[in-house]
Amino acid sequence: MRPSPSTDNRGRASLGGFIEPTTGASKGLPQIGRNGFFLVTPKIGTRARTRDIMQRVSVNKATPGMVLEDDVRDQKGRFLFKAGQSITDKHIRIFKIWGVTEIWTENEQSGKEEAAREDASIPEETLDRAEDLVRESFRDNSLEDPFIGELYRICVERTAQSLHNDWILPAEDKTRSGKGDAPETPPRAEPRNITIPGLVSDRLKLATLPNIYYKTLEAVHDPSMSLADIADIVSTDPSLSAKILQLVNSSFYSLLKKVDTLTRALALIGTNHLMTIVTGVSVMSIFKKSSSTILSMNEFWQHSIGCGIIARMLASYVPGVVNSERYFVAGLLHDIGRLIMVQNAPRQMQSVFHIAEREDLPLFEAEKRHLGFDHTEVGEYLAHKWNLPLSLKKMIRYHHEPELGSREMDPEIIYVANFLTTALRCGSSGEDKIPSFNSGAWMDLSLSPSVLEPVVIQLNHQLKETFELIYGHH
């Protein structure tokens, strides 16, 4: 049974579907959504036509007027478009958005006269419905703003596709978090005794990252160490070594050749990338077994990893930014304070969720109001305990309020990445509200709104694989 998409459990409109129907959820399998994890695998054996009258075409080279000679489906066999369809620019855009890389077409282009026809694959009423939902979510923002306007367009398209495919919208999956079960009146949860050091040291073994992290860091900073020496140190941790090789060979790096030795991997990706992976894997080794009754861990890590991927991509477009790798780690860790809070102060956080809902506040504002501090401060404190670099601490601390961080570019990149991740409904760290966008951050980065589409395409392309490698199957 599937509820009809409308508003979320706070009465707010919700956006495009990233949550699979709940099969597998009970087993703890990653609930990564269907958006963008598709690769079209032509089913040669089932083809009715012969190869000589068909051609395989890269989506990048597809042109309006080509006729699909095979159904386009996702990896799981989910139908996207049927054979015989004459494609338009809109189809091509949708292929790219959904990560489709190749299509089968007739050898000779035909049906050009049909190309001008409006795309009939998504009914008009579904598009209208998607627009209503997205407009409501963007109510605190002006669509006149070029960045917001472009993001709005992308969100409408994704939401329409989700609705069209009858996917469950995130907020309709009531198993997603316990927020929907919040009582009418806030539970009695006195914030008085909660302190940041208390939260961080309480129960969780957060004092240090695993030894291998510090050993690798030291080796990377030691000019006398060769890549082979560093590889030797990393290889003392076999599971870390295996993870590095898997990631290097994944869509996260998209290298042309397969790499099978650690030294070669390091030579290709460099030590900055190495530290990204080692930090990510080390952090996950601490938090992997975390659980919460009020926040879905799958959703949380999907949000965090998604934010990291977006931040890394965005940074690569920002003039003058070097080493865009570190933005991945910053995205991965930006909401780590929230995770600690929901784990160690669940009752107080239930109250925070309630306040945010009642007063229509961003969650971090509700945290401040109820506890006197927010998750960015908890995250910063943890980063300090771990001796993480200052720039990383700033990115964690100011990811909601970059103006407090002297408008430096680093926090602004994470601010924008987090805004995008939230608006695109890529996982959730508990925050459903799309706040009013601080356009100053975007302007400071000297970015054009046209970078949004390629960034989102890359998110689609990398999220599932990166999520599985870093978070794994639980």
Footprint on this chain of Fe ion (rule: CB under 5 A): 335, 418, 429
Q: How far is the CB of 116 from Fe ion (least distance, A)?
A: 42
Strand partners, 56: 104
Nearer to Fe ion, 247 or 295 (CB): 295
Are the CB atoms for 292 and 348 separated by under 8 Å? no
Q: How far is the CB of 44 from Fe ion (least distance, A)?
A: 43
Are the CB atoms for 69 and 129 separated by under 8 Å? no
Q: How far is the CB of 356 from Fe ion (least distance, A)?
A: 12
Strands 54-58 and 102-106: antiparallel
Nearer to Fe ion, 418 or 466 (CB): 418
Nearer to Fe ion, 34 or 334 (CB): 334
Nearer to Fe ion, 70 or 335 (CB): 335
Nearer to Fe ion, 103 or 452 (CB): 452
Helix H segments across 334-408?
A: 336-344, 346-359, 363-371, 375-385, 390-397
Number of H helices, E strands in the chain: 19, 4
Distance CA 439, CA 450 (A): 15
Output the CA torsion 277→283→288→289 (10° steps). 160
Q: How far is the CB of 186 from Fe ion (least distance, A)?
A: 21
Helices 409-423 and 452-470 pack at an angle, to 10 degrees, of 80
Q: How far is the CB of 306 from Fe ion (least distance, A)?
A: 9
Distances (CA, A) of 204 to 286, 309, 338, 340, 473: 9, 27, 14, 8, 22
Q: How far is the CB of 418 from Fe ion (least distance, A)?
A: 4
Residue 13 is encoded by which pair of tokens? Answer: 């409109």
Helix (H) or strand (E) holding 469: helix 452-470
Nearer to Fe ion, 216 or 418 (CB): 418
Q: How far is the CB of 20 from Fe ion (least distance, A)?
A: 21
Distance CA 101, CA 39 (A): 6
Q: How far is the CB of 332 from Fe ion (least distance, A)?
A: 11
3-state secondary structure of 193: coil
Q: How far is the CB of 310 from Fe ion (least distance, A)?
A: 11
Nearer to Fe ion, 302 or 429 (CB): 429
Nearer to Fe ion, 147 or 213 (CB): 147
Concatenating the DSSP letter of every residue in 140-178 gives: TS-TTSHHHHHHHHHHHHHHHHHHHTTPBPGGG-TTS-G
Nearer to Fe ion, 243 or 375 (CB): 375
Residue 314 is encoded by which pair of tokens? Answer: 């965005």
Backbone angles phi, psi at 61, to 5 degrees: -105, 0
